[in-house]
Structure 1
């Protein structure tokens, strides 16, 4: 079992579209970025994929844009694994802005294991099933309390 994985970032000019907010395609790119950072932290990242000669590839995304992110916003990209079986792993995402405690984005991806040389589906090896464990049942992935403090007057600060 595992815990949520967080990656902090600040919205940069290249993330902003003509409407003045983070472009929807950027959120999908961030899904990839935080998933990659998470698998690297689990010790079964891209270099290990090459050594094992198989890898996980995205086969389906579902996304929900809830609020706009703007230039300079500090955002927490959170991901966790919600399920795994012989062929697939399922990853959840939640992107959060601490300054107003807003959930900006939610999504999930179904990942499939493939042989790198052929691109053909492959059953997940023990290396994957041991490293990629679903979220512990006692973990609440929507709890971002660690990014907030209360001062002595009870006023919210980030």
Structure 2
């Protein structure tokens, strides 16, 4: 079983769109960034993918934008795995603004295991299934009470 993974982000000028808030495409980029940071922390990043000759690729996203984020704000990007099988892993995301205790965004991604050379589906190796463990059932992924901001 695994735990949640948090990545602290400060909203920059380049994240802001013409309406003055974080652009919806940026949230998608943040999903990728926090997922990548999480797998790197599990010891299963790009280098390991290349060595193993298979990788996880996104095949489906579902997102919900709840509140706007603005330049200078600190955002906690949280992710965790909630399910895994031989071919797929399912990752959840919640982006949280500690300043007002607001959930800004939630989403999930279905990731498929593929052979890098061919792009064909492949059963996950034991290396993957050992690293990609679902969130422990006793952990509430929406509990942000223990957030310790680096910027404050």
Over aligned residues, Cα RMSD in angstroms?
0.9
| Residue deviations 1:117-151 (CA, integer Å, cap 9, x gap) | 00000001101000000000000000000127xxx
Q: TM-score, normalised by structure 2?
A: 0.97
Aligned length: 149
Give me the whole-angstrom Cα distance separating, in 2, the residues matched to 1:23 and 1:122.
34
| Residue deviations 1:6-31 (CA, integer Å, cap 9, x gap) | 00010000000000000000000000
Give me the whole-angstrom Cα distance separating, in 1, the residues matched to 2:107 and 2:42.
21
Give me the whole-angstrom Cα distance separating, in 1, the residues matched to 2:2 and 2:87.
19
Structure 2: give runs of 5+ residues left out of the alignment: none
The residue number in structure 2 matching 1:85 is 85
The residue number in structure 2 matching 1:102 is 102
The residue number in structure 2 matching 1:42 is 42
Give me the whole-angstrom Cα distance separating, in 1, the residues matched to 2:146 and 2:54.
36
Runs of 4 or more, structure 1, over 2 Å off, are none
SS of 2:146's equivalent in the other structure is: helix
Structure 1: give runs of 5+ residues left out of the alignment: 149-157
Considering only CA atoms, is the larger Rg found in Structure 1 or Structure 2?
1
Q: TM-score, normalised by structure 1?
A: 0.93
Q: How does 1:2-151 map to 2 (within 5 A)?
A: 2-147=2-147
